[in-house]
Amino acid sequence: MIPAPFEYYRPREMAAVLALLAEHGDEARVMAGGHSLIPMMKLRMAEVPHLIDLQDVEGLSGITVSGGEIRLGAMVTQAEIIDSKELAQAAPILREAALQIADPQVRAMGTVGGNVANGDPGNDMPGLMQCLGARFTLVGPEGEREVAARDFYEAAYMTERDDDEVLTAVAFAVPEGGYAYEKQKRKIGDYATAAAAVQIRREGASCAAASIAMTNLSDTPVWSEAAAEALVGTELGPEAIEAAVTAMLAEIDPSEDNRGPVEFKRHAAVVILRRAIARAWSRA
């Protein structure tokens, strides 16, 4: 568990980060909390000759809620998300999800930016951000641009972010209605066997809007527009839920691992989504 030799940088400004990325190209990686990257380096599965630590870079921290918009700096930790009263009120699904990520020690270091940028299908935040319709801010040599979370993920560890760009913030509209982040895992610290993020807005007896995303059931998070649409306009009776579940099943593509065979994961996905919908609806 000893990484290959690497140079360590700890710049204070984004310009310096970008300069290092420009200089070293794909030999350089930025690091936020390090809870994905460092184990990969120790296993020598990732070789990073130039490691750029973002923790001293200005402008990457802070949680702001204003004007119906929530913005999380990339270096906001899971622990900060859990502790934020403002966020608990504005978007309680974040706290519910963050509490199911790893353990308190990891959450003290693990960041929202690292979680969404790494492109690991096991991470919980990417699916959550797709559910919330979040936008990711990327800063690169050409300046700043925004990419929708729903367009960001291409394959496992492959994202829209270019090698010379840094993900600096996550932003989304204050979600409305009921919510649930439901996750089945084998133990603390584990990735999901299946997880579902659900937001539902209710008007009267029926569902006015819904958003559904699944985690660790494909090589990217799966935002299932069809599953959500199956709920909209209904009173969430058994048929509507069945339709949502069927739509979701058509879009996931789990693979076998130590968490179980594909057949089991597909079944777990159904159970987890049903529970998430029920809980979100009960809160809507």
State the number of CA atoms in the 13 A half-sphere of 267 facing the CB.
Answer: 7
**Residues in region 93-122 near another protein by CB under 8 A:** 103
**Residue 72 or residue 102: which is nearer to another protein going by CB?**
102
**Residue 3 or residue 140: which is nearer to another protein going by CB?**
3
Beta-sheet strands, E only, within 141-281: 143-148, 153-155, 158-159, 166-173, 178-184, 194-203, 206-215, 222-223
**Residue 210 or residue 268: which is nearer to another protein going by CB?**
268
Query: Which residues lie below 8 Å from residue 275, measured CB to CB, with a gap of 6+?
Result: 180, 182, 196
- Per DSSP, the residues of 144-155 read EEEEEHHHHEEE
Least separation, in Å, of the C-beta of 267 and another protein? 7
Q: Name residue, tokens 């690497």.
A: 6
Query: Binding another protein by CB under 8 A: which of 149, 272, 276, 277?
Result: 272
By CB under 8 A, is residue 258 in contact with another protein?
Answer: yes
By CB under 8 A, is residue 5 in contact with another protein?
Answer: yes
By CB under 8 A, is residue 12 in contact with another protein?
Answer: no
- Provide the angle, in degrees to the nearest 10, between the axes of the packed helices 262-283 and 238-251: 140
Give the Cα separation of 248 and 236 in Å (integer). Answer: 15
Query: Binding another protein by CB under 8 A: which of 187, 204, 205, 238?
Result: 187
By CB under 8 A, is residue 150 in contact with another protein?
Answer: no
By CB under 8 A, is residue 2 in contact with another protein?
Answer: yes
Part in contact with another protein (CB under 8 A); list of ranges 126-134, 223-231, 238-246, 264-272: 264-272
**Residue 12 or residue 44: which is nearer to another protein going by CB?**
44
Give the Cα separation of 131 and 128 in Å (integer). Answer: 5
**Interstrand relation of 194-203 and 178-184 (parallel, antiparallel or unpaired):** antiparallel
* Interface with another protein: number of residues (CB under 8 A): 23
Q: Name residue, tokens 């049903």.
A: 274
By CB under 8 A, is residue 171 in contact with another protein?
Answer: no
By CB under 8 A, is residue 217 in contact with another protein?
Answer: no
Rounded to the nearest 5°, which phi and psi values hold at 121? Answer: -60, -20
Least separation, in Å, of the C-beta of 274 and another protein? 9
Residues that bind another protein (CB under 8 A): 1-2, 4-5, 44, 103, 184, 186-191, 193, 258-261, 264, 267-268, 271-272
